[in-house]
Chains A and B, each alone.
Chain A
């Protein structure tokens, strides 16, 4: 990879002094709250989402604590119902759906394609504020009586309960716009803002994952918007679309809801696929096996993901013919997901595998996502799903996909990009311990749930039959280990912010632009010179300069640049002139 020759940017300080970067070029709170820099918006999102994850995670621990005994142990039924509802809503709508795109997508995507920013920086900032508005609505919902409908808001129950339902549905409507803005921004950015030479075949797979995700966000989110609007109108004006008492059809609501919420699963998992490809490639130092298959299968999953929502409704009273069609198409999605797993494992073959913390998460992901996939095949079987639907098997299944897949990938990604975001290294030993705790805790929590479900334990039960108690207790212990691991991560992450070792520009020896062409912490405009891309994203063997003869530690200014093989990239305007536009 090489860069063009161009006059040195103005703001660049000498090597001895503290370098000016996106974190310190302006330091007032105001400059953060009004920033249009995609990196800062990523950081803002990271802080907000961490808070939501913490709250929703504590709720999960409370739920597991309540379930440690078969009767009432910690809270009454009403409280329990509100707790699992809030856990679901916060995790799905306010954490998982925005998580990877809003944090890592925002931070990494423009860097990876060699752009100075996303296409619409103002919209990007608006997205964060809209998200905060959604969060504010959620808090209002809690203060006005809470919500106990489950995150699915099934009618007619949602029409008859909870003072907070109106606020909560409004919150989801509002927060949906944040996702639409992000998705729209990424689609345009990927189409129009790629650096010279960054062809579609040279896009890092994280970008492909974000692209597929954005398509789903843009196409699906408006439908949850209109669904929530109709739900609100149903409660205020009693328009009878969903409520049977008014002549509506409750199953129609489920169609509307799952038309969004099933693709939303792909909003959560597709970016995780992207992260995984980056991690596996970098830490095995080999080109992703079947790059094209992985890239295109993401887009295929995004599209097919819209055709399968009815597999949540096999026992809902929908027509048998549509159950059958939905089941068939569901299997068609299983195949591209399988292809990805096989390709990732094949990438390890004859690689040079470096077991750093992010790679541990990646390998953990492979194990847990595979279980998530197989249990998905199980609940996709028409007749078996009749037995498993709405039991803990389903709970276990989607946690294996959402938490074991999406969240674990996010954790891996956060560790991987942590040096780039903060300029500091985390503690590798603690990182490995935490990864182990998360892995053990997670499996101990959710594998017993698969067994519980298959044995007939229904979900959303505050109390349960005595014979389920043993496995429930096991699951509770697992959740505590998992919680311990996550708190450990929070702890050493905060520690690293203050005391962490200074990170080099490319600590992992990665080959994508955010590592090779930026300073340790990227500058406000990302690149000193717009890169000109001359090779694929994972061509480790072609990227001699990347490693600097070592594991990447040595890379920075002293690495000799390869002579420019191609004509100059477009000159960029003086960064100071239009700064902050």
Chain B
């Protein structure tokens, strides 16, 4: 834990890390032009995470530092993940038991209007779309088609 005198990271390592960071930046830009489908976000975040790790370990000396500092930082990042994940647990699953609609009122109204327009195109009064027709339509359905973006 205790070191004798300040630990000095060799300049060569700093330069190598910098080189790696630049290469990874190029990579992440390049990858953005490759259609990866659902992997787009994970790949981008993965590369960013790798870059951040390099910065933390070498530029910020965490690799050579007191483990307490590393623990501190790790706990911080864990709680960011907790915050994001558990919030998404709600927002991604609205409408699961039917007590709340997945779509907003505005979206439902927009959809109703579109349905109305379709209806006007084919003159028929047999169709009536009520808000109650929508609640169970899961947001997941629209998610699947969107994931490629």
Across the interface, which residues of A come within 8 angstroms of B119, CB to CB?
A: none
Across the interface, which residues of A come within 8 angstroms of B121, CB to CB?
A: none
Q: Pick out which of these stretches binds chain A: B37-45, B52-60, B80-88.
A: B80-88
Q: A191-B68, A219-B75, A219-B76 are in contact. Are A319 and B83 (CB under 8 A)?
A: no
A382 to chain B, nearest CB (A): 11
- We find that the number of chain A residues with CB closer than 8 angstroms to chain B is 24
| Cross-chain contact A244 with B104 (CB below 8 angstroms) | yes
Residues from 208 to 225 in A contacting B, C-beta threshold 8 Å: 215, 219, 223
CB of A318 within 8 Å of the partner chain = yes
| Cross-chain contact B82 with A251 (CB below 8 angstroms) | no
Across the interface, which residues of B come within 8 angstroms of A191, CB to CB?
A: 68
What CA separation (Å) do A255 and B89 show in the bound complex? 11
| Cross-chain contact B89 with A325 (CB below 8 angstroms) | yes
Q: A259-B83, A307-B82 are in contact. Are A322 and B76 (CB under 8 A)?
A: no
| Cross-chain contact A219 with B79 (CB below 8 angstroms) | yes
| Cross-chain contact B90 with A251 (CB below 8 angstroms) | yes
Closest A-chain residue to B69, C-beta based? A191
Interface of B is mostly: helix
Closest B-chain residue to A318, C-beta based? B90
Closest A-chain residue to B76, C-beta based? A219
Residue-wise, chain A 315-347 has the 8 Å CB interface mask toward B (1 for contact) of 001111110011000000000000000000000
| Cross-chain contact B95 with A319 (CB below 8 angstroms) | yes
A203 to chain B, nearest CB (A): 15
| Cross-chain contact B100 with A319 (CB below 8 angstroms) | yes
| Cross-chain contact A255 with B82 (CB below 8 angstroms) | no
Residue-wise, chain A 183-223 has the 8 Å CB interface mask toward B (1 for contact) of 00000000100000000000000000000000100010001
Residue-wise, chain B 83-117 has the 8 Å CB interface mask toward A (1 for contact) of 10011011111111101100010100000000000
| Cross-chain contact B86 with A307 (CB below 8 angstroms) | yes
What CA separation (Å) do A317 and B100 show in the bound complex? 6
Choice from B79, B82, B93 contacting A321 with Cβ under 8 Å: B93
| Cross-chain contact A320 with B96 (CB below 8 angstroms) | yes
CB of A249 within 8 Å of the partner chain = yes
Q: A191-B68, A317-B99, A319-B95 are in contact. Are A223 and B89 (CB under 8 A)?
A: no
CB of A306 within 8 Å of the partner chain = yes
For the complex of A and B, 8 pairs with smallest distance between CB atoms:
A319-B93, A320-B97, A322-B90, A318-B90, A317-B100, A322-B89, A321-B93, A255-B87
Across the interface, which residues of B come within 8 angstroms of A219, CB to CB?
A: 75-76, 79
What CA separation (Å) do A326 and B86 show in the bound complex? 9
Q: A249-B91, A252-B91, A317-B99 are in contact. Are A322 and B79 (CB under 8 A)?
A: no
What CA separation (Å) do A571 and B93 show in the bound complex? 62
A217 to chain B, nearest CB (A): 13
Could you write out 17 A-B pairs with CB less than 8 Å apart?
A: A219-B75, A223-B83, A249-B91, A251-B90, A306-B79, A307-B86, A317-B99, A318-B100, A319-B90, A319-B100, A320-B96, A321-B89, A322-B89, A322-B90, A322-B93, A325-B89, A326-B86
What CA separation (Å) do A249 and B104 show in the bound complex? 9
CB of A110 within 8 Å of the partner chain = no
CB of A310 within 8 Å of the partner chain = yes
A225 to chain B, nearest CB (A): 14
Residues from 116 to 148 in B contacting A, C-beta threshold 8 Å: none
Choice from A313, A319, A325 contacting B94 with Cβ under 8 Å: A319
Residue-wise, chain A 238-278 has the 8 Å CB interface mask toward B (1 for contact) of 00000010010101100100010000000000000000000
Q: A191-B68, A252-B87, A255-B87 are in contact. Are A318 and B94 (CB under 8 A)?
A: yes
Across the interface, which residues of B come within 8 angstroms of A309, CB to CB?
A: 86
What CA separation (Å) do A318 and B100 show in the bound complex? 8
What CA separation (Å) do A251 and B95 show in the bound complex? 14
Across the interface, which residues of A come within 8 angstroms of B79, CB to CB?
A: 219, 306
| Cross-chain contact A322 with B95 (CB below 8 angstroms) | no
Across the interface, which residues of B come within 8 angstroms of A322, CB to CB?
A: 86, 89-90, 93
Across the interface, which residues of A come within 8 angstroms of B97, CB to CB?
A: 319-320
B71 to chain A, nearest CB (A): 10
What CA separation (Å) do A317 and B97 show in the bound complex? 11
Closest B-chain residue to A247, C-beta based? B106
Closest A-chain residue to B66, C-beta based? A191
Choice from B82, B95, B96 contacting A306 with Cβ under 8 Å: B82
Across the interface, which residues of B come within 8 angstroms of A326, CB to CB?
A: 86
Across the interface, which residues of A come within 8 angstroms of B96, CB to CB?
A: 319-321
A21 to chain B, nearest CB (A): 34
What CA separation (Å) do A581 and B80 show in the bound complex? 37
- Most A CB within 10 A of own CB, among B89, B92, B100: B89
What CA separation (Å) do A82 and B107 show in the bound complex? 36
Across the interface, which residues of A come within 8 angstroms of B83, CB to CB?
A: 223, 259, 306
What CA separation (Å) do A249 and B103 show in the bound complex? 11
Across the interface, which residues of A come within 8 angstroms of B91, CB to CB?
A: 249, 252, 319
What CA separation (Å) do A215 and B72 show in the bound complex? 10
| Cross-chain contact A310 with B82 (CB below 8 angstroms) | no
Across the interface, which residues of B come within 8 angstroms of A223, CB to CB?
A: 83
What CA separation (Å) do A180 and B90 show in the bound complex? 29
B74 to chain A, nearest CB (A): 12
What CA separation (Å) do A259 and B88 show in the bound complex? 13
Across the interface, which residues of A come within 8 angstroms of B100, CB to CB?
A: 317-319
Residues from 267 to 326 in A contacting B, C-beta threshold 8 Å: 306-307, 309-310, 313, 317-322, 325-326
What CA separation (Å) do A550 and B64 show in the bound complex? 53
What CA separation (Å) do A326 and B87 show in the bound complex? 11
What CA separation (Å) do A309 and B93 show in the bound complex? 17
What CA separation (Å) do A319 and B92 show in the bound complex? 8
What CA separation (Å) do A89 and B95 show in the bound complex? 33
Closest B-chain residue to A259, C-beta based? B83
Across the interface, which residues of A come within 8 angstroms of B104, CB to CB?
A: 244
What CA separation (Å) do A313 and B87 show in the bound complex? 12
Given A259-B87, A318-B100, 17 more pairs with CB closer than 8 A: A223-B83, A247-B106, A249-B91, A251-B90, A252-B91, A255-B87, A307-B82, A319-B91, A319-B94, A319-B96, A319-B97, A320-B93, A320-B96, A321-B89, A322-B89, A322-B90, A326-B86
